[in-house]
Structure 1
Amino acid sequence: MHPWLHFKTITKHKLMVMRYCFRIGLYKQGLLHDLSKYSPAEFLVGCKYYQGTRSPNNAEREDIGVSTAWLHHKGRNKHHYEHWVDYAINDPEHVIMGARMPRRYVAEMVMDRISASRTYLGDAYDNHQPLEYFLKSKPKLWFVHPQTKKELEGLLRILSDKGEDKALWYIKNVYLKKGKK
């Protein structure tokens, strides 16, 4: 058990996401981001499986075949595309499908991905990693709404190609403004 190390890691991540969300104008989301990680259902599992270099949810999955902490987390945090999965009633090929995410949650997801990469990679972080992480998992994301996938990848490409300041400016001044029209 590593309660102090886990607490420091999730708090560092949460504060970093909060600062990024504030920079793009998502103040409430920044304040509320990932509060469920402090609940017993997530925190105790995180302490047990803490490693410091990756999410403890993966270690829990490897140990017992499922991450109970993740199931709790994704159901309470709208910045994860897994939160937006529902039954497909008009799609004969799929039992489940992804609903389109509102732009403010896609933007928060980008802030979350930047912060997670920075937290776990430390000084080895660069602006390409969040996109690379997404591209590795993209073939498995059949359940994510196509527009959500397109928007997420587009924002991560801006981060990778143009840098953090330009990506944050674009998200705040263009991407989130389009969603309000």
Structure 2
Amino acid sequence: MKFHPIKHFITITKHRNEVIRLCFKAGIGFQGLFHDLSKYSPSEFIPGAKYYLGNQSPNNGERFDKGYSFAWMHHKGRNKHHFEFWYDYEMETKKLVPITMPDRYIKEMFCDRVAASKTYNRANYTQESPLLYLTQSTAREKMTETTYRKLLYLLKMLAEKGEAETLAFMRNTAVLPEAQ
């Protein structure tokens, strides 16, 4: 396994810069400025450079090697735009359950997913890429129905109407609608 600190730095910075650009256009620019800063911490950066893959998250490389990703666990616990952050124990059942995300973090999650699709898919990116990534994943069963449907609404809008119209809609909408 080769250590790729420069390539990893370039990839995460390219991704972060795209998220910042999208967040500003979506009306949450200040939030975008703080997006994914934990990726530059030793707990995330060192494994990211060690397990750098180029075409997908280095967290997957760490999972292939160890069976889990400590960097991911560190990341999701510090970044509210990940639905995995929004889990808590239900008092009655004592089970870990998803909590509906506030709209501002759903907007950032949208920007993050679009930027990740652009970063990792490069020339194969289309406006449908983030929607396909969501619908082909198991994320729906891990988020609340409300969180899922709000994200789905935005990703469908992106696929059908494009980036500029979707970001303008996000900028001008305080409460996100849900996909039916």
Identity of aligned residues (%): 48
Report SS of the residue matched to 1:137: coil
Amino acid at match of 1:178: V
Match of 1:55 in 2: 57
Match of 1:37 in 2: 39
Quote the offset at 1:168 in angstroms. Answer: 0.8
Quote the offset at 1:48 in angstroms. Answer: 0.4
Deviations 1:98-118 (A, max 9, x none): 111000000000000000000
Contact 2:27–2:170 (CA<8 Å) still a contact in 1? no
Amino acid at match of 2:107: A
TM-score, normalization by structure 2: 0.93
Residue 110 (1) aligns with residue 110 (2): yes
Amino acid at match of 1:173: N
Compare the two structures and name the one with the higher helix fraction: 1
TM-score, normalization by structure 1: 0.92
Amino acid at match of 2:114: I
Match of 1:136 in 2: 136
Deviations 1:1-48 (A, max 9, x none): 000000000000001100110111112211100000000000000000
Separation (CA, whole Å) in 2 of partners of 1:29 and 1:48: 29
Quote the offset at 1:178 in angstroms. Answer: 2.5
Contact 1:21–1:27 (CA<8 Å) still a contact in 2? yes
Contact 1:37–1:73 (CA<8 Å) still a contact in 2? yes
CA RMSD of aligned residues (A): 1.3
Structure 1 runs of 4+ with >4 Å offset: none
Match of 1:178 in 2: 175
Match of 1:150 in 2: 149
Q: How does 1:53-92 map to 2 (within 5 A)?
A: 53-90=55-92, 92=93
